[in-house]
């Protein structure tokens, strides 16, 4: 037998998580008829998503909710209950655990908050007691103080407004608001999720379990993590290495600074960690550290929509004039290269562009040329050439609409852009800045074009700074991952 010296200690829940995440039935305890409450929205979400098993609203004050029969207590439910979502106040959780134990519940998600994150001794004590009681009852726990599970493939959601189509991003987030924001923003940019788990104070199931789960989850292609505190450094870094050996892992640490840490401790009661040690360990584990939720979103868009990260050599459509110069500076500062337009392409343009064939460069300045079609023709030649690894389009939608005299970009134009990447197996990024116009029809045109592009699976970035930074990091991280095999 060959001895392996990189043996990974198996995290606790590991393979069993998937079974927990496929309950036969769900009870929402603390269900509410108040349409602005989370106790309503959990039920509404499950109904709207068409969760295939029974959904049981539990609240002694309700007879029914959204057409579902309501029950006064968990124990009053006739059938088995696998998964409980708790939206009751902190004072009611121990009764709930008693009932759950009696019903043979396997998993509870505590949306319920006001535990150790308050920084008060009684809150911390209640959390310790909750840990003991659930452990003794053999019930696994997500939370407390979190939004819980979004698993569109199994028709489980946190919010009725979320997209019900599954995708391949797995996100574990200690923060519920980060989960909401990533899902919400991601939707506008073509991101879809295998699962999102908001896990708050991590009383039981924690980052180690979820990393391991996503690492082995066949539906997950890229793992994103928002982490404020870790319980066990060694087990965490082992799980991180395990996951990063299998998939790209993007880690955003909340509480990197002492001020941030102070905020994190009153958010999810997380403990401090040494920033330097953290940085080195994350890098050594093979994961990529992110600096903000926007950067995390941008990088996920790279993984989901940009296409292959062959290398740093990009063909750039540079906006116009100063925008072209800016694109060049920002590409160079992000570690990208812009090989000049090959002579063969120039020669083939000599007749069609007598005034510009020898003058145009990379980035391509649109203000040098006349009309849209020349740009796309040249870009298609560049995209097909082996000297380029990717294409970046700094595309001024508003000006294009104005120039074309239309209020919607034609679908053929979107297709043609998309094919620049897909037809050549290359990375493609589109920069669509926020509309400058206050003119309603122009504004709608830009927003519609962006939606069309996102729907076509084109990666969209809101600024050239963000696009270039992400392209640079994406290419380098993928090169590093290839090098590590």
462 near a second copy, judged by CB under 8 A: yes
Select the residue interacting with a second copy from 258, 344, 373, 386 (CB under 8 A). Answer: 258
Select the residue interacting with a second copy from 16, 37, 91, 266 (CB under 8 A). Answer: 266
How many angstroms separate the Cα of 371 from the Cα of each of 88, 346, 353, 393? 62, 18, 11, 16
Length of the chain counted residue by residue:
485
Other C-beta atoms closer than 10 Å to the C-beta of 261 total 19
Query: Who's near 151: CB < 8 A, 6+ residues apart?
Result: 21, 157, 194, 195
Residue 25 or 157: the one with the smaller Cβ distance to a second copy is 157
405 near a second copy, judged by CB under 8 A: yes
Select the residue interacting with a second copy from 216, 326, 377, 380 (CB under 8 A). Answer: 326
Select the residue interacting with a second copy from 175, 220, 273, 374 (CB under 8 A). Answer: 175
Q: Which stretch binds a second copy (CB under 8 A): 47-55, 60-68, 179-187, 206-214?
A: 179-187
Residue 94 or 359: the one with the smaller Cβ distance to a second copy is 359
Residue 173 or 220: the one with the smaller Cβ distance to a second copy is 173
- Most distant CA pair in the chain, distance: 83
Minimum distance, C-beta of residue 423 to a second copy, in the bound complex (Å): 26
297 near a second copy, judged by CB under 8 A: no
Other C-beta atoms closer than 10 Å to the C-beta of 399 total 14
Residue 7 or 259: the one with the smaller Cβ distance to a second copy is 259
328 near a second copy, judged by CB under 8 A: yes
464 near a second copy, judged by CB under 8 A: yes
Angle of CA points 375, 378, 383, to nearest 5°: 115
Query: Do the Cβ atoms of 18 and 246 come closer than 8 Å?
Result: no
185 near a second copy, judged by CB under 8 A: yes
226 near a second copy, judged by CB under 8 A: yes
Tell me which DSSP letter residue 159 carries.
-
Query: Do the Cβ atoms of 42 and 88 come closer than 8 Å?
Result: no
Minimum distance, C-beta of residue 56 to a second copy, in the bound complex (Å): 27
Select the residue interacting with a second copy from 122, 350, 355, 386 (CB under 8 A). Answer: 355
Q: Which stretch binds a second copy (CB under 8 A): 51-59, 167-175, 216-224, 231-239?
A: 167-175
Residue with tokens 């962006």: 450
Minimum distance, C-beta of residue 447 to a second copy, in the bound complex (Å): 8
Minimum distance, C-beta of residue 357 to a second copy, in the bound complex (Å): 11
The helix, strand and coil proportions of the chain, stated in percent and rounded to the nearest 5, come to 45, 15, 40
Query: Who's near 393: CB < 8 A, 6+ residues apart?
Result: 316, 317, 379, 417, 420, 428, 429, 430, 431
94 near a second copy, judged by CB under 8 A: no
Minimum distance, C-beta of residue 262 to a second copy, in the bound complex (Å): 7
221 near a second copy, judged by CB under 8 A: no
Minimum distance, C-beta of residue 216 to a second copy, in the bound complex (Å): 26
30 near a second copy, judged by CB under 8 A: no
Minimum distance, C-beta of residue 388 to a second copy, in the bound complex (Å): 14
What distance in Å separates the CA atoms of residue 230 and residue 479, rounded to the nearest whole number?
28
Strands, E assignment, 271-336: 288-290, 314-318
176 near a second copy, judged by CB under 8 A: yes
367 near a second copy, judged by CB under 8 A: yes
Q: Is 129 exposed, middle or buried (0-12, 13-18, 19+ CB in 10 A)?
A: middle
Select the residue interacting with a second copy from 465, 476, 479, 481 (CB under 8 A). Answer: 465
Select the residue interacting with a second copy from 325, 370, 411, 455 (CB under 8 A). Answer: 325
Residue 25 or 145: the one with the smaller Cβ distance to a second copy is 145
What distance in Å separates the CA atoms of residue 147 and residue 169, rounded to the nearest whole number?
18
Q: Which stretch binds a second copy (CB under 8 A): 45-53, 209-217, 259-267, 418-426?
A: 259-267
Closest Cα to residue 239, out of 217, 198, 207, 271? Answer: 207
* Residues β-bridged to residue 197: 149, 172
431 CB-side CA count, 13 A: 23
* Residues β-bridged to residue 64: 69
Residue 82 or 365: the one with the smaller Cβ distance to a second copy is 365
The footprint of a second copy on residues 408-437 (CB under 8 A) is 434, 436-437
148 near a second copy, judged by CB under 8 A: no
Select the residue interacting with a second copy from 119, 138, 371, 410 (CB under 8 A). Answer: 119
311 near a second copy, judged by CB under 8 A: no
The DSSP line for 352-397 is T-TTTTTT--SSB-GGGSSSHHHHHHHHHHHHHSTT-SEEEEE--H
């Amino acid at each position: 037998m060959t001895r392996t010296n990189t043996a990974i200690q198996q995290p606790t829940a590991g393979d069993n998580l998937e079974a927990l995440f496929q309950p036969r039935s769900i009870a929402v305890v603390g269900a509410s008829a108040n349409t602005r409450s989370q106790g309503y929205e959990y039920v509404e979400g499950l109904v709207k998503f068409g969760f295939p098993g029974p959904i049981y609203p539990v609240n002694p004050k309700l007879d029914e909710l959204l057409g579902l029969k309501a029950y006064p207590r968990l124990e009053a439910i006739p059938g088995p209950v696998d998964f409980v979502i708790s939206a009751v106040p902190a004072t009611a959780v121990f009764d709930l655990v008693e009932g759950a134990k009696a019903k043979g519940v396997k998993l509870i998600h505590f949306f319920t908050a006001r535990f150790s994150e308050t920084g008060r001794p009684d809150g911390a004590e209640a959390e310790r007691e909750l840990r003991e009681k659930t452990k003794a009852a053999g019930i696994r726990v997500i939370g407390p103080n979190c939004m819980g599970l979004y698993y569109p493939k199994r028709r489980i959601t946190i919010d009725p407004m979320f997209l019900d189509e599954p995708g391949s991003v797995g996100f574990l987030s200690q923060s519920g608001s980060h989960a909401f924001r990533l899902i919400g923003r991601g939707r506008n940019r073509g991101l879809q999720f295998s699962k999102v788990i908001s896990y708050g104070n991590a009383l039981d199931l924690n980052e180690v379990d979820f990393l391991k789960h996503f690492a082995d989850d066949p539906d997950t292609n890229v793992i994103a993590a928002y982490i404020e505190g870790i319980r066990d450094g060694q087990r965490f870094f082992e799980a991180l290495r395990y996951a990063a050996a299998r998939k790209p892992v993007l880690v955003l640490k909340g509480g990197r600074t002492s001020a941030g840490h102070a905020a994190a401790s009153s958010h999810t009661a997380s403990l401090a960690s040494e920033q330097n040690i953290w940085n080195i360990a994350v890098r050594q584990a093979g994961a990529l550290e992110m600096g903000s939720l926007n950067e995390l979103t941008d990088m996920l868009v790279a993984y989901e929509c940009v296409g292959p990260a062959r290398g740093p050599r990009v063909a750039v459509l540079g906006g116009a004039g100063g925008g072209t110069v800016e694109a060049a500076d920002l590409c160079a500062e992000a570690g990208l290269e812009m090989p000049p337009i090959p002579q063969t392409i120039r020669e083939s343009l000599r007749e069609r562009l007598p005034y510009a064939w020898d003058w145009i460069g990379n980035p391509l300045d649109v203000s040098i040329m006349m009309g849209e079609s020349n740009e796309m023709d040249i870009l298609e030649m560049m995209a097909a050439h082996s000297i380029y690894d990717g294409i970046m389009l700094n595309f001024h939608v508003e000006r294009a609409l104005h120039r074309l005299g239309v209020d919607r970009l034609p679908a053929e134009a979107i297709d043609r852009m998309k094919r620049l990447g897909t037809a050549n197996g290359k990375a493609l990024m589109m920069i669509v800045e926020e509309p400058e116009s206050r003119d309603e029809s122009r504004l709608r045109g830009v927003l519609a074009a962006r939606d069309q592009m996102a729907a076509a699976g084109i990666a969209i970035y809101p600024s050239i700074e963000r696009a270039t930074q992400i392209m640079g990091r994406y290419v380098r991280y993928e090169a590093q991952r290839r090098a590590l095999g």
